[in-house]
Amino acid sequence: GPKKPFNKSAAWREARELLYHHRRRLLIGLLLMLVSRLAGVVLPALSKVVIDDVIGKSRHDLLLPIALAAGAATVVQAITSFTLSQVISVAAQRAITDMRKRVQAKVMRLPVRYFDSTQTGVLLSRIMSDADGIRNLVGTGLVSLAGGLVTALISLCVLLYLNWRLTLVTAVVLAAFGGGMAYAFKRLRPLFRERGRIQAE
């Protein structure tokens, strides 16, 4: 039969339900991500102190506090990154398992003629591979996106404070690069669909 049109409202409703169902782990993951990204900003900030004060002003007494701060920031970042991967990975695996169960239950209710006219690989791809797509929503994808936005915002504020002209030029270049990447992925999206079809066959 003809292919059904994509229902955006149903997809957004499903995404909201997934996010609400795993809201506790996602909230913990976002908090851990925020701590990790703030700890990651410490090392670049300390490099400025080393160059300006320790080397420029010969204040060697600051070396020990700088080393302790850098070590503490590294330890905090390592612990939060590990905990983040554990918390988010568990939530993603549970969401994927639940989605696979729902898809399999729906497939098993289909009439027998559907199984006669559909390849086994197509059914396996729908149950096993398609459910992995929600990993980007409930898993590390959404948290990484939020972490990247936080880091970009902090970096942008610092760069604007240091040199706003050079920052604007860099932002224009990055915007052009991002537009090119968006165009490339738009052109490549049909190839990913074709790859999934070939894999199913």
pTM, 2 dp: 0.66
Percent of the chain with pLDDT over 90: 7
| DSSP-derived secondary structure for 9-25 | HHHHHHHHHHHHHTHHH
- C-alpha pair distances (Å), 62 with each of 52, 53, 66, 76: 11, 8, 6, 21
The Cα–Cα gap between 99 and 90 comes to 14
| pLDDT given for residue 4 in this prediction | 65
- Give the list of residues 6+ apart from residue 126 with CB closer than 8 angstroms, or none: 103, 107
Per-residue pLDDT tens for 112-162? Answer: 888 888 777 777 877 777 777 777 777 777 777 888 888 888 888 888 888
Digit-coded pLDDT (tens) for 69-90: 889 999 998 998 888 888 887 7
Q: How far is CA 29 from CA 35, 79, 87, 125, 159, in A?
A: 10, 13, 7, 29, 27
